[in-house]
Amino acid sequence: MIVQRAIEKVGIPTILIAALPPVARQNGAPRVVAPRVPMGANAGEPNNPAMQKAIVKDALTQLVEIQTPGTIVPLPYEYHAKI
Amino acid sequence: MALTVVKGLQSEVYVPITPEVVWAPVQKELKDMTVALVTCAGVHLKSDKRFNLAGDTSYRVIPGDTKGQDLMVSHGGYDNSDVNKDINCMFPIDRLRELAAEGFIKAVAPVNFGLMGGGGDVDTFMYKTGPEVAEKLKNEGVDAVILTAG
């Protein structure tokens, strides 16, 4: 989130794919999408290109859609890591 | 009656402070954007130097034409087993390239960045590493950045 804010400060819009959205909110991330994933698989299940691509595509769509700083948009994808 | 009984007394309960708003407006349509990936998940080229797992404020450059199989992770702060199976679950560079090929975005940026979050000096990230990465992205004409962290 620190790096995201630094990038946003030079005028480049950013979107964060977060596994821990409350942390993103606390640290002032400007735009966030949050699929239901564990830390370490923010962009979706490993070896599931369809889910990963959908998450990246929705992240880009929300980059344009989000109009209010600090907005967190939940994404309808779910992956449980087998630990 | 004065409400202040003891002068200078402070609460022991820390109240979180959310930093000030930062906001760069979107200037282009997605199909005209060059998009970069930046991650704090410790991703770097297999041929590159590993991160110091005890805390590392340096960054690694990842060229836009890099394939997922040429990348690896060194990060001590989360379970690496998923990224070790498929780096795209944290650094979806193959997926972003597919979206560029389909014309959903214009291109994958020539430079993308891997950092190791969850450790290291916060001030260095805030005032040195972060601005350096941002400046490099700007110099390469990047229009938007997707980050994975947290």
Instruction: Tell me whether residue B83 is in a domain.
Output: yes
Is B129 inside any structural domain?
no
Non-local CB neighbours of A24 within 8 Å, separated by 6+ positions: A1, A16, A18, A32, A34, A72, B150
Domain count, chain B: 1
Q: In this predicted complex, what is the ipTM? A: 0.97
Q: Per residue of chain B (150 residues), give pLDDT as tens.
A: 677 788 888 888 888 888 999 999 999 999 999 999 999 999 999 999 999 999 999 999 999 999 999 999 999 889 999 999 999 999 999 999 999 999 999 999 999 999 998 888 999 999 999 999 999 999 999 999 999 987
pLDDT over threshold 90, residue A68: yes
pLDDT confidence of residue B1: 66
Instruction: Look at residue B135 and tell me if it is in a domain.
Output: no
Closest by Cβ to A7, choosing from B27, B85, B134: B134
- Does B98 reach chain A within 8 Å, measured CB to CB? yes
Look up the pTM and report it: 0.92
Test A30 with B148 for CB contact under 8 angstroms.
no
pLDDT at residue number B18: 84
**Among B40, B57, B82, which would you mutate to test the A interface (most chain A Cβ atoms within 10 Å of its Cβ)?**
B82
Q: Is B87 within a domain?
A: yes
- For residue B40, what are the domain limits? 36-114
pLDDT tens, residue by residue, A8-62: 999 999 999 999 999 999 999 999 999 999 999 999 999 999 999 999 999 999 9
Quickly tell me which residue has 């991160």 as its tokens: B51
Q: Would you say B130 and A5 are in contact if contact means Cβ atoms under 8 Å apart?
A: yes
What was the pLDDT predicted at A50?
A: 98
Is B146 a domain residue? Answer: no
- Which of A1, A12, A41 comes nearest B150 by C-beta? A1
Of A1, A2, A57, A80, which to mutate for an interface test with B (greatest number of B Cβ within 10 Å)? A2
Q: Is B103 on the interface with A (CB under 8 A)?
A: no
For residue A67, give how far its alpha carbon lies from the nearest alpha carbon of chain B (Å).
9
Instruction: Give Cβ neighbours of residue B46 (< 8 Å, ≥ 6 apart).
Output: B70, B71, B72
- For residue B48, being part of any structural domain is answered with yes
Report the greatest alpha carbon distance in chain A: 40
Flag whether residue B25 sits within 8 Å of chain A, measured between CB atoms: yes
Question: In sequence order, what are the beta bridge partners of A32?
Answer: A16, A72
Distance from CA of B45 to the nearest CA of A (A): 18
In this complex, the residue of B85, B98, B122 whose CB is nearest that of residue A2 is: B122
Residue B62 lies in a domain: yes
Is B76 inside any structural domain? Answer: yes
Give me the pLDDT at residue A79, please: 96
